[in-house]
């Protein structure tokens, strides 16, 4: 510290004694900005703590000073690599500014813009998008907003970054192209947007998004950006980014010399910047390391990686190669670098590679702790999922080499940690959540649903209404974060294999557990207290085979028009998936993954035949009673089926005399009603509010209605008499039924995410608390559904377990002579799949009855046969004496 600065600090301290609160805060900020450091930040924290402890009412001027303090603190926290602290400081500044309706400060420039960018850096894409849309709305609706064109441009640029990072590259391209065509832009602005557009094209080629000639378009955009920016001395960083992007593009084309030359230009320009942010420098060196790795220059790549660790981790010791876990923090660049280090190590030092991957998983857990929105969590989980596939390959090779079963067990645990992780996490957290947290979660979800519904209106959507909801959603998110940060301990749950094997043994079942990667389909088989791991290389034929088989269920005539083709494809997929044969147990638990979520395993062909009689074909259904589950832990923790009296809440909108009329729904209703007590909501009574009000009072919820799987932009939904409900609107139902039956089309279909599964109506009910479900995989036929349901409920009436009732109903359907052969096509009977428990409650009252009965018999025997009692006693006594 210089003498001059010491004098400033001394006189500033003297001045503080005679200042009011507002002046004290501004003076402290000025002192900090004059000589910022990570240590000096604590002085600002202490000052703010003292300010809030003071019981005096706070003036608006004082509160604005605190906003300025937090914005300055956040700026430097970001400079010092304290990303999470910076986000928290910006969030606090924004909350105070909003809550107290403050003004006379450029909150967009100094708070919202950097906050949105930091959310993007951390992977909190929903918060980033909401924040950017908020300040874009403020600029558009405020009269005479200072520098409005600049802020509008920043919003477009930053929103395109969010879309790129969250996999919405088509939206990014659409936004950037329309801005370049319709807005009056300076050359600098054109250059900046073209650089982003090129990056969007580059990403779209990786993600297989349908844009023609994406790599060529990317190259053109980058070169055009350089032409606009090369003479702009204040755009050195963007110009550097354009050269880096060209380097990345040429690296993918394996033009390594060209890539290296562009990278050298990028680095030279970046190092000319007066203040190089450590994170950006680390990212530049990561791209250099990636280029060296692709050139097979592993030692040079490792040196670059060690430089990055030194930049991002102050106490890093290069002798250890990998940093210590306690040195790590939530930083996505560190994740990328550790993953690259693992790639370098995986062939020569596979166990060390697994250590590097484990550190990446640890950082991702830290990131998960600060995420609130489901979509951002799913994107983070997908990244972890790609790493998991690499780890499974390593574990498999180690097992082949050393034959140690623990490698298979560790591989299984890794596969399980991302399997329906968001659903598992939600179920676990909601149990322990406080009343306040549950209320905030519910309000947040309600706002999210209202935004989605308004957005679905397209051009007629009310933008003001959407932005108002986003504003409220953002406030709720910040409040929820405060609560969750006090107990931020996201740790993926391990699966207790001993307990899992015990449950499988008790259920007389085996489990086939799939993990769909980008290169391999792994499958674990668990039976007889043993675990095995195999894989199928996903070649150009493997996935198409599965898709071809699923395509047979796209309409009613696809199978009947090509019965021999169905036989052939059904057998080919069965052989490929390698389901165990000739097993001791006939109960099979399938944990599907990826596209296998849409495959009806019961309809696979185990033995090809030339018959056209559907009842005589050899289905997997004939070998096994099949139940499904979303993960091993969910199977393990699913409550057993209740033995108590079953009552039904039936929802039958029927939609009489409309285009949506369900003719056979009434027949389905009468069949169930004749067997089970309950409440049956028909026609206009089958409203969503009536369903919600009654759902907790019945053991079985049966919904016979219309549903839709949605599409890329439209979420899955289910139709009640009065309204259509999005799958996410079901989250807040908070129900605990014994069974949910979704007798409607496509209730198990929705937008598919790696690991998490389909965003379907069934998923909505799972979030709401349902554990045992029967739902459909495609558009079901009204008549055949009523026949299937009638037999399904007859089985339940006879106390047959749900999963077995499903199997029995399908077999009965095939054997029913009143149904014509064409209607016995697997299209009609295999649509419904059962997810949940396959075991029933142990009826404790039976044990008590048996014990009481036994004691009664013994008592009567002793009372009415005293001679026998005495004889037994004397004989027993003699034996004891003899032994002595």
**How far, in Å, are 116, 126, 168 from residue 159 at the CA level?**
9, 11, 11
Residue 867 reports pLDDT greater than 60: no
Query: Which range among 139-148, 531-540, 848-857 shows the weakest confidence by mean pLDDT?
Result: 848-857
pLDDT attached to residue 863? 52
Conformation bin of residue 833: beta by default, left when phi > 0, alpha when psi is -120 to 50:
beta
Q: 241 falls in which pLDDT band (50, 70, 90)?
A: very high
pLDDT attached to residue 859? 52
pLDDT tens track for 638-665: 888 888 889 999 999 999 888 888 888 9
| DSSP for residue 495 | P
Residue 669 reports pLDDT greater than 60: yes
Is the Cα dihedral 662, 663, 668, 671 positive or negative?
A: positive
**Strand pairing report for 724-726 and 678-682:** unpaired
pLDDT tens track for 698-750: 999 999 999 999 887 789 999 999 999 999 999 999 899 999 999 999 899 99
The torsion angles phi and psi of 395, rounded to 5 degrees, stand at -60, -40
Where helices occur in 674-742 by DSSP H, the ranges are 688-694
Residues 409, 396: Cα–Cα separation, whole Å:
11
pLDDT attached to residue 207? 59
Residue 14 reports pLDDT greater than 80: no
Q: 213 falls in which pLDDT band (50, 70, 90)?
A: low
DSSP string spanning 24-59? Answer: HHHHHHHHHHHS--TTTHHHHHHHHHHHHH--SPPP
pLDDT attached to residue 33? 94
Of 6 and 239, the one with more pLDDT: 239
* Beta pairing partners, 591: 513
Residues 794, 521: Cα–Cα separation, whole Å:
39
For the chain, the average pLDDT equals 89
**Strand pairing report for 678-682 and 648-652:** parallel
pLDDT attached to residue 315? 86
Cβ-based neighbours of 52, under 8 Å, separated by 6 or more: none
pLDDT attached to residue 488? 60
**Strand pairing report for 700-704 and 648-652:** parallel
Residue 776 reports pLDDT greater than 50: yes
Average pLDDT of span 264-280 = 91
Burial (Cβ within 10 Å: 0-12, 13-18, ≥19) of residue 188: middle
pLDDT tens track for 39-75: 899 999 999 999 999 999 999 999 999 999 999 999 9
Closest listed residue to residue 170, CA positions, set 125, 212, 221, 223: 212
The pair of three-digit structure tokens given for residue 624, joined into one six-digit string: 């096994």
Residue 605 reports pLDDT greater than 90: yes
pLDDT tens track for 468-517: 898 899 889 988 888 887 766 566 778 999 999 999 999 999 999 999 99
Query: For the chain, what percent of residues have pLDDT higher than 70?
Result: 92
CA 321 from centroid of its chain's CA atoms: 32
SS3 track for 404-440:
CHHHHHHHHHHHHHCCCHHHHHHHHHHHHCCHHHHHH
* Beta pairing partners, 609: none
Of 170 and 11, the one with more pLDDT: 170
SS3 track for 114-141:
HHHHHHHHHCCHHHHHHHHHHHHHHHHH
The torsion angles phi and psi of 78, rounded to 5 degrees, stand at -65, -40
Contact predicate 699/646, CB 8 Å = yes
Residue 301 reports pLDDT greater than 60: yes
Residues 456, 419: Cα–Cα separation, whole Å:
30
Strands, sheet with 707-708, edge to edge from the N-terminal-most edge strand: 707-708, 717-719, 724-726
| DSSP for residue 848 | H
Residues 672, 790: Cα–Cα separation, whole Å:
7
Q: 855 falls in which pLDDT band (50, 70, 90)?
A: low
- Decide: helix, strand or coil at residue 630: coil
Average pLDDT of span 442-458 = 88
pLDDT attached to residue 373? 92
pLDDT tens track for 371-404: 999 999 999 999 899 999 999 999 999 999 999 9
């Amino acid at each position: 510290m210089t003498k001059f600065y010491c004098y400033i600090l001394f006189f500033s301290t003297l001045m503080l004694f005679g200042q009011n609160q507002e002046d004290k805060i501004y003076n402290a900020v000025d002192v900090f900005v004059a000589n910022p450091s990570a240590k000096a930040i604590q002085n600002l924290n202490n000052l703010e703590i003292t300010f809030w402890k003071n019981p005096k009412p706070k003036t608006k001027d004082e509160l604005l000073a605190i906003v300025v303090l937090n914005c300055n603190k956040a700026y430097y926290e970001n400079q010092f690599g304290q990303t999470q602290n910076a986000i928290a400081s910006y969030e606090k500044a924004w909350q105070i500014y909003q809550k107290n309706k403050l003004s006379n400060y450029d909150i967009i420039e100094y708070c919202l813009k950097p906050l949105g960018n930091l959310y993007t850096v951390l992977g909190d894409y929903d918060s980033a998008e909401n924040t950017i849309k908020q300040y874009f709305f403020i600029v558009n609706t405020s009269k005479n907003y200072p520098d409005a064109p600049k802020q509008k441009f920043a919003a477009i640029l930053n929103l395109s970054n969010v879309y790129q990072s969250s996999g919405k590259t088509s939206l990014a391209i659409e936004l950037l192209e329309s801005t370049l065509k319709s807005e009056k832009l300076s050359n600098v602005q054109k250059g900046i947007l073209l650089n982003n557009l090129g990056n969007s094209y580059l990403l779209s080629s990786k993600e297989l998004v349908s844009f023609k000639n994406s790599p060529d378009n990317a190259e053109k955009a980058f070169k055009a950006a350089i032409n606009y920016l090369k003479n702009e001395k204040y755009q050195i960083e963007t110009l550097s980014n354009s050269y880096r992007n060209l380097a990345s593009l040429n690296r993918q084309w394996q033009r390594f010399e060209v890539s290296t030359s562009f990278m050298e230009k990028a680095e030279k320009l970046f190092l000319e910047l007066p203040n190089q942010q450590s994170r950006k420098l680390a990212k530049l060196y990561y791209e250099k390391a990636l280029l060296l790795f692709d050139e097979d220059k592993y030692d040079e790549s490792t040196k670059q990686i060690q430089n990055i660790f030194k930049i991002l981790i102050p106490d890093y010791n290069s002798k250890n190669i990998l940093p210590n876990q306690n040195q790590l923090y939530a930083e996505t660049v560190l994740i990328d670098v550790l993953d690259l280090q693992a790639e370098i190590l995986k062939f020569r030092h596979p166990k060390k590679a697994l250590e590097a991957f484990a550190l990446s998983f640890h950082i991702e857990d830290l990131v998960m702790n600060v995420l609130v929105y489901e979509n951002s969590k799913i994107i983070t989980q997908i990244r972890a999922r790609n790493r998991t596939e690499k780890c499974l390959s390593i574990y498999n090779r180690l097992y082949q080499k050393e034959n140690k079963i623990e490698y298979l067990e560790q591989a299984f645990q890794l596969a399980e940690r991302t399997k329906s992780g968001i659903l598992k996490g939600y179920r676990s957290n909601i149990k322990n959540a406080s009343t306040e947290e549950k209320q905030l979660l519910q309000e947040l979800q309600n706002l999210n649903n209202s935004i989605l519904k308004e957005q679905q209106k397209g051009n007629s959507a009310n933008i003001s209404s959407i932005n108002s909801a986003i504003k409220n959603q953002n406030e709720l998110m910040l409040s929820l974060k405060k609560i969750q940060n006090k107990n931020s301990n996201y740790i993926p749950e391990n699966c207790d294999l001993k307990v899992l094997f015990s449950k499988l043994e008790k259920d007389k079942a085996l489990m086939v557990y799939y993990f769909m990667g980008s290169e391999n389909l792994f499958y674990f088989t668990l039976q007889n207290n043993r675990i095995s791991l195999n894989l199928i290389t996903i070649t150009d034929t493997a996935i198409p085979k599965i898709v071809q088989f699923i395509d047979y269920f796209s309409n009613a005539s696809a199978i009947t028009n090509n019965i021999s083709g169905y036989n052939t494809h059904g057998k080919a997929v069965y052989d490929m998936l390698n389901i165990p044969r000739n097993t001791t147990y006939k109960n099979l638990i399938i944990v599907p993954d990826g596209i296998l979520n849409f495959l009806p395993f019961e309809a696979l062909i185990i033995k090809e035949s030339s018959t056209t009689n559907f009842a005589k074909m050899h289905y997997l259904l004939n070998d096994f009673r099949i139940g499904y589950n979303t993960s091993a832990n969910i199977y393990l923790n699913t409550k057993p089926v209740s033995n108590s009296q079953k009552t039904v809440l039936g929802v039958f909108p029927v939609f009489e005399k409309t285009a949506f009329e369900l003719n056979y729904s009434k027949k389905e209703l009468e069949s169930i009603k004749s067997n089970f007590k309950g409440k049956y909501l028909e026609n206009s009574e089958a409203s969503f509010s009536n369903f919600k009000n009654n759902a907790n009072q019945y053991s079985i919820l049966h919904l016979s209605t219309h549903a839709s799987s949605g599409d890329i932009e439209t979420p899955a939904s289910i139709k009640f008499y009065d309204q259509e409900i999005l799958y996410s609107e079901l989250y807040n139902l908070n129900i605990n039924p014994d069974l949910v039956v979704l007798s409607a089309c496509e209730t198990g279909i929705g937008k598919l995410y790696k690991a998490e599964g389909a965003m379907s109506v069934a998923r909505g009910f799972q979030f709401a608390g349902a554990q045992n479900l029967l739902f459909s995989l495609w558009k079901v036929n009204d008549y055949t559904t009523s026949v299937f349901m009638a037999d399904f409920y007859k089985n339940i009436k006879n106390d047959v377990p749900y999963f077995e009732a499903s199997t029995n109903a399908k077999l009965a359907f095939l054997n029913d002579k009143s149904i014509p052969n064409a209607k016995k096509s697997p299209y009609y009977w295999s649509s419904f799949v059962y997810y949940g428990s396959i075991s029933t409650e142990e009826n404790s009252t039976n044990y008590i009855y048996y014990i009481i009965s036994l004691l009664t018999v013994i008592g009567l025997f002793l009372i009415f046969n005293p001679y026998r009692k005495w004889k037994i006693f004397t004989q027993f006594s003699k034996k004891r004496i003899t032994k002595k």
